[in-house]
Structure 1
């Protein structure tokens, strides 16, 4: 009798263990497909750059709480994650980053975190044959500055939309509707840029900047783009690079160059001084936002506002 009782107890015990194991598996499965929400019920999103954070807020609306790591004037090529940044990444249930090695050494951290939470490179669905090579001007396989082609940023927006739906399927319809509205604004922006470029005489459509961040812009909208540095500001430039660019400005009678909000202006000022010594006047056509947006709360602190500021500055200087 005692033996029979022990057998039944062991059977019941095994049953509890089985049920507990099933419960754990169900929880882990749910966590892998849906993101945890904060105390306010919102999906906690951390984005590396301001451009990505801005789109996440537009698409996510009231259902997300977005934290951006890199603020105005920050150069993502040289950025090193602080302990505070690591905490923000760890606390997020969704992480959005550019990819294509824009974030440099941070990429290793992001890839490790992808094993425990939803991590998306927003450039992942841009067709590879539409990416510019970066090997000749910076050492990376592809040029990461895709946001300067609004058409590419439409792909990135769709990727952000799909990631939020994966994280929070309960609000799929809302994310789709908000994304559709924002995508309409991007399509209008793309056409607006094309129209404004037409105001620049064809011979003057030469954009000279501190580093090669505007290649996609030139490719998409018909401008010849030159940068003193390669696609990464981590790439060093020397006296030869300065003299070659100076000579190009003189020989082609280029009247304006542009500085960038996230890159020191000293090198461009040296080129202007060098051109002046050769009898050619070059002015600074204005400051462009390249790897970072403007201050939060300003028009330039949004992706659309940043692009509009840049195109208006370029047109005014070169037309």
Structure 2
């Protein structure tokens, strides 16, 4: 063999060994990544708190900080009155260390799943029931009264719910209790600011126009707190249907009071409100759909309207301005 062939053979051998080493290294990468992920998963020991609706989740996640994990079952656009639990929902409800529901029959179709969890001695807390019965609104006809579950429409009542959530989180993670108490003070201050803004804004609407007409009866607590009459096309549940007679009564009310605007809701059909617009037009009175309110569902996640304060700020500002009151276009926080 020539002297020139020997170096060439060594170069080829070196190249082949390098190539094999590189391939072997690539094969190891997924294995190591997988091992690292498993270690991280095993290291996650913080309790998991699962809230059924966004309004509760927003409070729980703020109070929890980094001390607990928090998730929401029903995201933006989902209706808690009509949502049927999936297998994935059931698995999440089973896996959580604590489930926070509103209660008062809001999550009507989740009852069986939640009751099964209770039967297995896994904690489920209906935070809406922390509000004393005498402070809840009764809805329905004679002999069929029930409590209105839409407590979050009143930030003063929701402050009491925040206190109840803080107690549950502190029981679940006692070491974090001082931090949870500190965060609670911040939440309560925000809710007091929101309440003051709502009162100031709604008070600026001319008295004869203080009529809030919406798709379904979710604003009773809001109306009671801020002195605005509330009427709706549907009843307390989005499953109810409006009669022709009821629609005509609402049209008469809009015409007589010269109310300029009605509202749709983010998680409810717009069919009913449109019937009101058409009925008023037939009577020679122009009514516009002023915009979309958030009722059972909050805004998109990761946005200001996707927070409890942002949701109500949006509602208060839109209602006030549409009915002739005085509120800044950008809302309480200049974020709308």
Q: Shorter-chain TM-score: what band?
A: 0.7 to 0.9
Aligned mates of 2:193, 2:123 — CA distance in 1:
31
TM-score, normalised via structure 1 length: 0.85
Q: Which residue of 2 aligns with 1:128?
A: 133
Q: Please identify the structure whose Cα radius of gyration is greater.
A: 2
2:233 corresponds, among 215, 220, 228, to: 228
Q: Please, which moves more after superposition, 283-292 or 238-247?
A: 238-247
Q: Which residue of 1 aligns with 2:23?
A: none
| Partner SS state of residue 73, structure 1 | coil
Aligned mates of 2:61, 2:205 — CA distance in 1:
34
Counting only pairs closer than 5 Å after superposition, residues 151-190 of structure 1 correspond to structure 2 as: 151-190=156-195
Q: Which residue of 2 aligns with 1:299?
A: 304
**Change over 3 Å in CA distance of 1:64–1:38 after alignment to 2:** farther
What does the per-residue CA deviation read over 1:268-292, in whole Å, with 9 as the maximum and x for residues that have no partner? 1111011101111101121100000
Q: Is the 8 A contact 1:138 1:232 kept in 2?
A: no
Q: Work out whether 1:196 is the aligned partner of 2:210.
A: no
Give the CA deviation at 1:138. Answer: 12
Counting only pairs closer than 5 Å after superposition, residues 50-89 of structure 1 correspond to structure 2 as: 50-89=54-93
Aligned mates of 1:159, 1:111 — CA distance in 2:
21
Aligned mates of 2:114, 2:171 — CA distance in 1:
18
| Partner SS state of residue 147, structure 2 | coil
Give the CA deviation at 1:41. Answer: 2.5
Structure 1 runs (4+) greater than 6 angstroms displaced: none
Q: Is the 8 A contact 2:277 2:288 kept in 1?
A: yes
Q: Which residue of 2 aligns with 1:15?
A: none
| Partner SS state of residue 237, structure 1 | coil
Bigger RCO (CA 8 Å, 6+ sep): 1
Q: Which residue of 2 aligns with 1:5?
A: none
**Change over 3 Å in CA distance of 1:172–1:232 after alignment to 2:** same
Aligned mates of 2:181, 2:160 — CA distance in 1:
14
**Change over 3 Å in CA distance of 1:39–1:103 after alignment to 2:** farther
Aligned length: 283
Q: Is the 8 A contact 2:99 2:125 kept in 1?
A: yes
1:258 corresponds, among 263, 276, 280, to: 263
1:310 corresponds, among 309, 315, 324, to: 315
Q: What runs of 5+ residues in structure 2 fail to find an aligned partner?
A: 1-40, 325-336
Aligned mates of 1:159, 1:229 — CA distance in 2:
31
Give the CA deviation at 1:197. Answer: 1.2
Aligned mates of 1:137, 1:291 — CA distance in 2:
25
Q: Please, which moves more after superposition, 76-85 or 237-246?
A: 237-246
Q: Is the 8 A contact 1:50 1:71 kept in 2?
A: yes
Aligned mates of 1:150, 1:112 — CA distance in 2:
32
1:100 corresponds, among 95, 100, 104, to: 104
Q: Which residue of 2 aligns with 1:19?
A: none
**Change over 3 Å in CA distance of 1:137–1:40 after alignment to 2:** farther
| Partner SS state of residue 300, structure 1 | helix
Give the CA deviation at 1:194. Answer: 0.8
Q: Is the 8 A contact 1:44 1:66 kept in 2?
A: yes
Aligned mates of 2:313, 2:49 — CA distance in 1:
26
Q: What runs of 5+ residues in structure 1 fail to find an aligned partner?
A: 1-36
Aligned mates of 2:114, 2:42 — CA distance in 1:
21
TM-score, normalised via structure 2 length: 0.81
Q: Is the 8 A contact 1:138 1:235 kept in 2?
A: no
Give the CA deviation at 1:137. Answer: 9.9
Q: Which residue of 2 aligns with 1:25?
A: none
**Change over 3 Å in CA distance of 1:187–1:143 after alignment to 2:** same
Q: Is the 8 A contact 2:166 2:181 kept in 1?
A: yes
